[in-house]
Amino acid sequence: MRVIFLLFIIVPIIEITLLINVGQLIGVWYTVGLVVLSAFIGVNMLRIQSLGTLMRARQRMDQGEIPGQEMGEGIVLAVGGALLVTPGFVTDVVGFCCLIPYTRKALVHFLSQRMTVVTSMQATSTQAPHSPPFDGTPGRSESTPRSGDIIDGEYTRKD
């Protein structure tokens, strides 16, 4: 949490300092032009890379596989796109690194090594009520299948 807070303070200070120095070196309008040009190129690269990732994810889903790598790449692409439209040269460099396929895949691999994926399954109609969704044996279930019939009625308890 503290690291994120420091990034929100340090990165803007670095960006402002760099923009001022570049502005003094090449001129204000050339600096603004570079910032706008990098955002324009970045958004177009983002569009192309996103479509490619979406197509690969669709192919994996059609094959019955979970597109985990592509989902991770989609998140990195979204972060890269946000960084590219943020004015500044440091954020542009990081944003472009998120768009380059080699560095993007390496970043997704690095992040996936440090994450834990948790999924939850709910009992389906073929399982007995309050039974665990898995019995520990792949492809087999200890629960008794239900017929799917619903019986509606009223009762009165007599002691």
Report if pTM > 0.85: no
pLDDT, tens digit, 9 for 90 and up, residues 100-142: 989 999 998 898 888 776 665 554 445 445 544 444 545 544 4
- Quote the pLDDT of residue 32: 93
pLDDT, tens digit, 9 for 90 and up, residues 23-37: 999 999 999 999 999
CA-based torsion, 126, 128, 130, 134: positive or negative: negative
Whether 68 has a pLDDT exceeding 90, the answer reads no
Whether 16 has a pLDDT exceeding 90, the answer reads yes
User: Please, which residues have CB within 8 angstroms of residue 57's CB and are 6 or more apart in sequence?
Assistant: 67, 70, 71, 74
* Confidence tier at 97 by pLDDT (50, 70, 90): very high
Is the Cβ–Cβ distance between 131 and 123 less than 8 Å?
yes
Helix (H), strand (E) at residue 115: none
* Confidence tier at 145 by pLDDT (50, 70, 90): low
Q: What angle do CA 133, 135, 141 make, to 5 degrees?
A: 75
